[in-house]
Amino acid sequence: MSLGEFQLIDRFFRNCGAQRTDVAVGIGDDAALLDCPPDMQLVAAIDTMVLGNHFLAHFPAESIGHRALAVNLSDLAAMGAKPAWALLALTLTKADPVWLDGFARGFSALARKHDVALVGGDTTSGAFCISVQLSGHAPRPAKMLRSGGKPGDVVFVSGTPGDSTGGLAFELGKFTVNPPAGVTEDVAAYLRQRFHFPTPRVELGLRLRDYASACIDVSDGLLGDAGKLAQASGCGVSLAWEQLPASSQLVAVAGETRAREMVLTGGEDYELCFTVPPQNVERMMRELPDAMWGYTAIGVLGAAPGALVTRGGTVMDFSHSGFDHFAGACKA
Amino acid sequence: MSLGEFQLIDRFFRNCGAQRTDVAVGIGDDAALLDCPPDMQLVAAIDTMVLGNHFLAHFPAESIGHRALAVNLSDLAAMGAKPAWALLALTLTKADPVWLDGFARGFSALARKHDVALVGGDTTSGAFCISVQLSGHAPRPAKMLRSGGKPGDVVFVSGTPGDSTGGLAFELGKFTVNPPAGVTEDVAAYLRQRFHFPTPRVELGLRLRDYASACIDVSDGLLGDAGKLAQASGCGVSLAWEQLPASSQLVAVAGETRAREMVLTGGEDYELCFTVPPQNVERMMRELPDAMWGYTAIGVLGAAPGALVTRGGTVMDFSHSGFDHFAGACKA
C-alpha cells in the first residue's frame, strides 16, 4: 500500500468508538496517554482474527469489525472488568474504502455501546489479519479467576452456545433453509446474527463478581473451556447433557442431539461459563433472575480431574473436547 | 495448527521477559491483571510486523523477536515513558520449535533488559504476522508530545539513522563486502547488527523529559518523521545536510552523498528525533553529554510549514520524504 492509502485508513478510525475523558492523548502520537482510575487494577487482553480462519473475505465488514472487538470484550467480561480503551492493529492487502467504512462502523457501534475509546493502532500492508488489544478496569481484589473454583461449585453458562457455529454453517452452505422441516428464514437469520454479531456478556460479568468463584469465556467450545476452568481450579467438571441450553432455532435445524453436541463443542460463542459456590446460588438467582440474565446451571465441579458429560447418570463418550478456532469449518 | 501446537507455542512464552511484582495475573487467564502505579499515566502502543514487509523468512528468529518488541519500546521512548507490560499476538503457519525458541529468546532478552513482563497474548494459525502491544508509565503532566515544538526549537536526532537500511541492503545482496573499497566484513557485520538488533532509546527518552519540547520515533525515515513532528506542532522543519550523522560504516559502503540520503529516508531506525527550546540546549548538552548519549543537532523548527533540507544555505530537492516500511526493499 502507498502512504496515501495508510492515511486513508487512519481517516476511518479518527472518531471510532466512544469519547472518554480519561484519554489524555489518543490516536496520532507515538503512543496513547491514559488516566487509570485509582484503586483499580488494569485488565488487558489481546486477540487476533485471521482471514480463512476466523472469517472469510465475503463476510460483512461490519461483522468483522464487531467480532474483532467482541472477542476481547468477552475476555474482559470473564474477568468481571469494565472495558475502556482499545488499540487496533490492522493488516490489509489493500485499502478498500467501502470495506474500511463497514469495518469501522461495526467496530465503533460495539465500542460505543460499551464506552470503549479507540486510542491508537497500527496499519500495515500484508496478509489480512486483525489484532485488537483491549484494556479495562476491575476493583481489587481480583475475582473470578479461572483458578477460583472448588469441588461442589455449580457450573453455569450464559446464553445458548452453539448458535454461532450454527450461523457459520448457514454461511458455509452446510445448513440450508427448509421450511417444511421447520428451518425457516427466521431460524437462519437468527443463527447468522449470532455468528456475525455475538453479544459479549460484559454487564453479566460485572454483576457476577458478587457471586461467582471462577469464570472463563466460551470461545473454543463449552466442554473444552469448562475443562480449562476446572483444571486451573485443580478440579474436574461434570456437565449434564439434559441441562445443556440449546436454542430452539439450533434444535430446529440440527435436531436435539446434534444441537447439544454443538452446545458442547461449537466455537466463538463469547458466552461466559462460571462457577458459583452452593451457598451463593440462591442469592444469585434471586438478585440476577436467570429469566432476565439468561444463564443456565449445567453441571458441577468435582475433585476428580477431567471434563465429562453425563446423560441419565451415565458418562458419555466425546472424542473432541475442544474447538480449534474455525480452521476446520472455514476451510471445509 | 492443532491444539497441541498451540500448547507448544504457549510453552515458549511462559517465562518470557522480566518478572514484575505489579503483575497480579499474567499469562493463563482470560486477561492479565496489572497494578498501575499511582499518579502515573498509562502509555500504550501497538505495532505489527509482517512477513515480506518487515522481515523475510530466512532472517534470524532472534532478530524478529527483538525487533517486534523494539519497535514498541521506541514508541514508548518517544513519549518519555518507562515500559512495563507486553502482550503478544502471534500468527503462524506452523509451530516450528527451533524458530519459536529463537523468537522467544530474542524477545525475552530485550524485554528483560528493559524490565518488561510478557503478561498475555494470543496464538493463531494463519499468514505470518506479529503484533506486540506494550504498556508503560509516564509521570504527569504529559511531555514530549509531537505537538509540543515551537519555531526556533533546535532539532536533534539520536544515533546514526540509515544504518538499519544499510544492514538490510547487505541482507538483500544490494550491498556486498569489498575490502579494497573499504567495505570490510566488520562494516557489513556492524550494519547487519543495526538492522537485526536495533537499540530502542528508552533511557534517553526518559532523560529527555527534562529538556525536550517534542519527540517522535524515527521509524519511517528521518525527514518524513521530522516533518510529522513539525506538522503536529504547527511548524515547519529545516534540516542541514552537513549536520546529518551518517555512520562511518554507512559512508564506507554507500559513499558520503548516498549515506546522507539514507540518513534522511531510511526506515526502521528506532532513533529519537526531538526538539529542544534554545534556552534548554546548553543545559541538556552539559547534563546529557552528546558524546555519551549519542545525539546530534540537525536543524531547526520554523514558522513556515513543510520539511526541507538545506545544503550550503540552498534548499535541496527530495522527491521521497517518507519510507513506506520495507515493502519496496524486501520485495525487490
Does residue B313 sit at the A interface (CB-CB below 8 Å)? no
pLDDT at residue A324, rounded to an integer? 42
Rounded to 5 degrees, φ, ψ at A295 are: -130, 165
Considering only CB atoms, which chain B residues are within 8 Å of A232?
28-29
User: Testing the interface with A: which of B20, B71, B72, B131 to mutate, by most A Cβ within 10 A?
Assistant: B131
Would you list the DSSP string of B213-267? SEEEEESS-HHHHHHHHHHHTT-EEEEEGGG----HHHHHHHHHHHHHHHHHH--
Burial class (CB in 10 A: 0-12, 13-18, 19+), A131: buried
What are the residues whose beta carbons fall under 8 Å from the beta carbon of A7, sequence distance 6 or more?
none
Does residue A213 sit at the B interface (CB-CB below 8 Å)? no
- Can you tell me the distance from the alpha carbon of A81 to that of A60, in angstroms, rounded to the nearest whole number? 29
Contact B30 A119 (CB under 8 A): no
pLDDT at residue B9, rounded to an integer? 77
- Nearest 5°: the CA angle B126, B130, B134 is 145
Does residue A52 sit at the B interface (CB-CB below 8 Å)? yes
Considering only CB atoms, which chain A residues are within 8 Å of B331?
none
Span B16-26, pLDDT tens digits: 999 999 999 99
pLDDT bin (cut points 50, 70, 90) of residue A8 is: confident
Does residue B316 sit at the A interface (CB-CB below 8 Å)? no
- Can you tell me the distance from the alpha carbon of B63 to that of B99, in angstroms, rounded to the nearest whole number? 11
Span A122-152, pLDDT tens digits: 999 999 999 999 999 999 999 999 999 999 9
Rounded to 5 degrees, φ, ψ at B181 are: -90, 5
Q: Measured between CA atoms, how close is A180 to chain B, in angstroms?
A: 39
Cell numbers at A166, concatenated? 450454527
- Can you tell me the distance from the alpha carbon of A190 to that of B284, in angstroms, rounded to the nearest whole number? 65
Does residue B246 sit at the A interface (CB-CB below 8 Å)? no
Contact A50 B119 (CB under 8 A): no
Amino acid residing at A324: D
Mean pLDDT of A241-254: 97
Calculate what percentage of chain B has a pLDDT beyond 70. 95
Considering only CB atoms, which chain A residues are within 8 Å of B32?
42-45
User: Testing the interface with A: which of B20, B21, B42, B233 to mutate, by most A Cβ within 10 A?
Assistant: B42
pLDDT score of A21 more than 90: yes
Buried b (16+ CB within 10 A) or exposed e, B225-258: bbbbbbbbbebbbbbbbeebbbbebbbbbbeeee
Does residue B84 sit at the A interface (CB-CB below 8 Å)? no
For residue A96, give the 3-state DSSP assignment. coil
Considering only CB atoms, which chain A residues are within 8 Å of B2?
324
pLDDT score of A199 more than 70: yes
More confident residue, B286 or A1: B286
pLDDT bin (cut points 50, 70, 90) of residue A325 is: very low
Considering only CB atoms, which chain A residues are within 8 Å of B6?
324
pLDDT score of A326 more than 80: no
Considering only CB atoms, which chain B residues are within 8 Å of A75?
30-31
- Nearest 5°: the CA angle B72, B88, A94 is 75
Whole-number mean pLDDT of chain B?
Answer: 92
pLDDT at residue B53, rounded to an integer? 84
Contact A34 B50 (CB under 8 A): no
For chain B, the farthest-separated pair of C-alpha atoms sits apart, in whole angstroms, at: 64
Contact A45 B32 (CB under 8 A): yes
pLDDT at residue A307, rounded to an integer? 95
Give the residue ranges of DSSP H helices in chain A: 3-13, 61-78, 97-113, 163-171, 185-196, 202-208, 222-232, 248-265, 278-287, 290-293, 327-331
CA distances from B84 to A43, B96, B202 (A): 14, 28, 12
- Residue B127's nearest CA partner among B48, B59, B68 is B48
Contact B30 A217 (CB under 8 A): yes
Amino acid residing at A270: Y
Span B92-136, pLDDT tens digits: 998 899 999 999 999 999 999 999 999 999 999 999 999 999 999
Considering only CB atoms, which chain B residues are within 8 Å of A22?
none
Cell numbers at B53, concatenated? 514487509
Of A2, A32, A79, the CB nearest to B33: A79
- Residue B59's nearest CA partner among B91, B107, B99 is B99
Residues in A 11-40 with any Cβ partner in B closer than 8 A: 24-25, 28-36, 38
Contact B44 A81 (CB under 8 A): no
- Can you tell me the distance from the alpha carbon of B225 to that of B155, in angstroms, rounded to the nearest whole number? 12
Amino acid residing at A307: A
Would you list the DSSP string of B70-107? HHHHHHHHHTT-EEEEEEEEEEESS--HHHHHHHHHHH
DSSP state of B176: -
Residues in B 144-183 with any Cβ partner in A closer than 8 A: 145-147
Contact B18, B111 (CB under 8 A): yes
Considering only CB atoms, which chain A residues are within 8 Å of B30?
45, 74-76, 78-79, 146, 215-217
Contact B129, B48 (CB under 8 A): yes
Mean pLDDT of B153-176: 96
Span B56-102, pLDDT tens digits: 888 999 999 999 999 999 999 999 999 999 999 999 998 899 999 99
Residues in B 117-136 with any Cβ partner in A closer than 8 A: 119-122, 124-129, 131, 133, 135
Rounded to 5 degrees, φ, ψ at A286 are: -80, -45
pLDDT at residue A300, rounded to an integer? 98
Contact A9, A95 (CB under 8 A): yes
Contact B325 A125 (CB under 8 A): yes
Of A1, A50, A124, the CB nearest to B91: A50
Contact B34 A43 (CB under 8 A): yes
- Residue A49's nearest CA partner among B131, B87, B31, B4 is B131
What are the residues whose beta carbons fall under 8 Å from the beta carbon of B208, sequence distance 6 or more?
B80, B144, B215, B272, B274, B288
Would you list the DSSP string of B179-194? GGGTB-HHHHHHHHHH
Rounded to 5 degrees, φ, ψ at B227 are: -65, -40
Mean pLDDT of B282-311: 96
Q: Measured between CA atoms, how close is A131 to chain B, in angstroms?
A: 7
Contact B103, B62 (CB under 8 A): yes
Contact B136, B154 (CB under 8 A): no
pLDDT bin (cut points 50, 70, 90) of residue B15 is: confident
Would you list the DSSP string of A117-181? EEEEEEEEESS-EEEEEEEEEEESSP-S-GGG--TTPEEEEES-TTHHHHHHHHHTTSS--BGGG
pLDDT score of A89 more than 60: yes
Does residue A8 sit at the B interface (CB-CB below 8 Å)? no
Which residues are registered as beta bridge partners of B34? A42, B23
Mean pLDDT of A271-297: 97
Cell numbers at B307, concatenated? 520539511
- Can you tell me the distance from the alpha carbon of B86 to that of A130, in angstroms, rounded to the nearest whole number? 18
Q: What is the pTM of this model?
A: 0.94
Does residue B206 sit at the A interface (CB-CB below 8 Å)? no
Cell numbers at A280, concatenated? 451463593
pLDDT at residue B327, rounded to an integer? 37
CA Rg value for chain B: 20
pLDDT score of B299 more than 90: yes
Mean pLDDT of B233-237: 97
Other C-beta atoms closer than 10 Å to the C-beta of B310 total 15
Q: Measured between CA atoms, how close is A130 to chain B, in angstroms?
A: 9
Q: Measured between CA atoms, how close is B185 to chain A, in angstroms?
A: 33
Task: Verify cis geometry, omega within 30 degrees of 0, for the bond prior to B141.
Answer: yes
pLDDT at residue A14, rounded to an integer? 86
- Can you tell me the distance from the alpha carbon of A246 to that of A242, in angstroms, rounded to the nearest whole number? 10
pLDDT at residue B102, rounded to an integer? 96
DSSP state of B319: S
SS3 sequence of B6-41:
HHHHHHHHCCCECCCCCEEECECECCEEECCCCCEE
Long-range CB pairs of B51-54 (<8 Å, 24+ gap) are B51/A126, B51/A127, B51/B127, B51/B128, B51/B129, B52/A126, B52/B330, B52/B331, B53/A124, B53/A125, B53/A126, B53/B325, B53/B326, B53/B327, B53/B330, B54/A124, B54/B268, B54/B325, B54/B326, B54/B330
Q: Measured between CA atoms, how close is B84 to chain A, in angstroms?
A: 12
- Can you tell me the distance from the alpha carbon of A24 to that of B142, in angstroms, rounded to the nearest whole number? 8
pLDDT at residue B290, rounded to an integer? 92
Span B128-138, pLDDT tens digits: 999 999 999 99
Long-range CB pairs of A254-262 (<8 Å, 24+ gap) are A254/A166, A254/A175, A259/A162, A259/A166, A260/A162, A262/A161, A262/A162, A262/A165, A262/A166
pLDDT score of B237 more than 80: yes
More confident residue, B39 or B250: B250
Amino acid residing at A306: G
Mean pLDDT of B186-191: 97
User: In the A/B pair of chains, how many CB contacts fall below 8 A?
Assistant: 223
Quote ipTM for the complex: 0.93
pLDDT at residue A329, rounded to an integer? 40
Considering only CB atoms, which chain B residues are within 8 Å of A118?
none
Cell numbers at B241, concatenated? 545536510
pLDDT at residue A54, rounded to an integer? 87
